[in-house]
Amino acid sequence: MGQPTTRLQVSGYRFMLRRMEHALVRADVRMLDDPLRAQSLALTAGAVLAAVAVAGCAVLALLRPAGRLDSAQIVMERESGALYVRIDDTWHPTPNLASARLAARTAADPQPVSATALADAERGPMVGIPGAPGSIGRALPPGQSTWTLCDGTTTTLWVGEPVAGDRLGDRRDDPDAVLVRSAGGHGTYLLHDGARAAVDLRDTAVVRALRLENVEPQSVSDAVLEAIPESPPLTPPGIPAAGTPGPAPLSRIPVGTVVRLARASAAGGEVGPESGTESDYFVVLADGVQRVGRITADLIRFTTAQPHREIATVAAEVIAAVPAVDHLRVATFPDRIETRSAPVLCVQWDGADGSPRTSLLLRDSAPDGARVVLAQADGSGPAVDAVGMPGGRYAFVRATGLTGDGGIAGSLFLLTDSGVVFGVHDEEAAQWLGLPADARPAPWPMLARLPRGPELGAQAASVSRDGAPPA
């Protein structure tokens, strides 16, 4: 059995081969130097460097392809960033991405190409919509469809996440209310139950019934007021046939009289007004009785003659024997209120689930967050001063009323993170722009207060221009 070859033997064998090669090539067996080895090393190093260069070019071609005009609809010149759109076989410069997509009728992204690739292409005049969005980001997530308009020292619209605050009047049993005056001089309102009701502070009966004698109205921007649903004014209801005998068995009580229902106590007796508990109030009408709240009862008592100074208490069986009617339009009147105020008042609208809800928020300070100050900002004036929206996002919406009416046939709009609203011509235009298939509802009174950009449509984007129109 032979012994294994050692490393020294292998090295000596290789040296002998190099010496024989040296003798054959150079006719010299002394091998004082070894230029053949240097040539071999140089060849190997060159091959490795060439392979690395080829691999780098391949990676660069993947990351930054030169692009081919024959397969692209929208291209961007890499050196200058200029956009071009192909219409038939002609390349037209276009001012923004929205115009390029609409003119090409495709939601494709621009393909980067070199200036050399465009040098020999046939070119035409500029097409597009000046002022259209230069880029289109990503849509707001489905859960971020809340619109909040806050009024303090400035008026800011927040779109996306709900704004935190002390929620006011979104429950029927919430007595909190805010007395406000339009900053534009368009009246005084009581904000309650997520709505606004006009109040005439010159009417003593209204002031006393609402207990507003020492309450100073808070000034609020008209933009905020218009974003709150309006309910009927808080005025004393008219009582037909007031003063005539009431229906049997209340014939001894005149029409227009407010009565109180006697409640049964736990001991089996009746609870009167002196107990301090809440009472049920009714007003006697010509053909029955109507249940009313405490404030409505006071409004009637202050404006319609009553037979007694105090409210009479009537037994439950008597009330049950009289028909219940609903002739007086006072269903939206609050039962009771406690007026409040705060440095910042917000109205929040959420229509994510198809059932729009309006809430009123009170805050000690303006919400924190990034926002864009608009050129139309006027401080305490009627305009919206800023828009807060996540950067790189947009909202594709369909205008609707505050209560959700008109949402199916409402106009389409695109709100970008710049705070500008663009009308979208139709659903086809929305598809070509790369917008979602379904537009979310948005309150028109808030949209109407934002700066308006040009309408986005394929026909407008295909108009040729030899230059930009004057500002």
The residue-averaged pLDDT of 230-248 equals 92
Of 154, 184, 186, 157, nearest in space to 380 by CA = 154
Pairwise CA distance, residues 326 & 201, whole Å: 27
pLDDT tens column, 34-58: 666 677 777 788 888 888 888 887 7
Q: One-letter amino acid identity for 311?
A: I
Say whether pLDDT at 7 is over 90: no
| Residues linked to residue 181 through DSSP beta bridges, in sequence order | 188, 219
Does residue 229 contact residue 332 with C-beta atoms inside 8 Å?
no
- The whole-angstrom separation of Cα 165 and Cα 152 is 14
DSSP character string of 56-101 = HHHHHHHHS----GGG-SEEEETTT--EEEEETTEEEEESSHHHHH
* pLDDT at 275 > cutoff 90: no
Beta strands 357-363 and 166-168, pairing class: antiparallel
pLDDT digits 0-9 by tens, 249-274: 898 999 999 999 866 554 444 555 55
Nearest CA to 347 out of 140, 122, 189, 172 is that of 189
Q: Which two tokens stand for residue 298?
A: 């006071």
> Bigger pLDDT: 357 or 16?
357
Q: What is the CATH number of domain 66-132+455-471?
A: 3.30.2390.20
pLDDT of residue 267: 46
pLDDT given for residue 276 in this prediction: 47
3-state SS assignment for residue 10: helix
Of these ranges, 268-272, 314-318, 368-372, 413-417, the one predicted with the greatest mean pLDDT is 413-417
Residue 369, beta-bridge partner list: none
Q: What is the pLDDT of residue 170?
A: 55
pLDDT at residue 194 is higher than 60:
yes
Each residue of 135-149: pLDDT tens digit?
999 999 887 889 999
Burial (0-12, 13-18, 19+ Cβ within 10 Å), 413: buried
Average pLDDT over residues 427-440: 94
Separation between Cα atoms, residue 87 and residue 89, nearest integer Å: 6
How far apart CA 141 and CA 324 sit, in angstroms, is 49
Which range among 112-126, 206-220, 254-268, 281-295 shows the weakest confidence by mean pLDDT? 254-268
Mean pLDDT of the chain: 86
**Residue 115 confidence (pLDDT):** 85
Average pLDDT of 224-248?
A: 93
Per-residue pLDDT at 408: 54
C-alpha torsion sign, points 15, 21, 22, 27: positive
Q: How far apart are CA 392 and CA 431, in angstroms?
A: 19
- Over residues 60-75, the pLDDT tens digits come to 766 665 556 777 889 9
Question: Maximum CA pair distance of the chain?
Answer: 145
What tokens were used for 384? 């919206």
- Please write the tens of the pLDDT for every residue from 166-184: 888 655 556 889 999 998 8
What is the reported pLDDT for 103?
94
List the one residue out of 325, 305, 333 whose CA is nearest residue 209. Answer: 333
- Kindly state the tokens that stand for 109: 């992204």
User: What burial class does residue 82 get, using C-beta atoms within 10 Å of its C-beta: 0-12 exposed, 13-18 middle, 19+ buried?
Assistant: middle
Strands 393-400 and 138-139, how do they pair? parallel
Q: 319-376 pLDDT, tens per residue?
A: 999 999 999 999 999 988 889 889 999 999 998 777 788 999 999 999 998 899 999 9
Cβ pair 101, 424 in contact under 8 A: no
Determine the 3-state secondary structure of 190 from DSSP.
Answer: strand
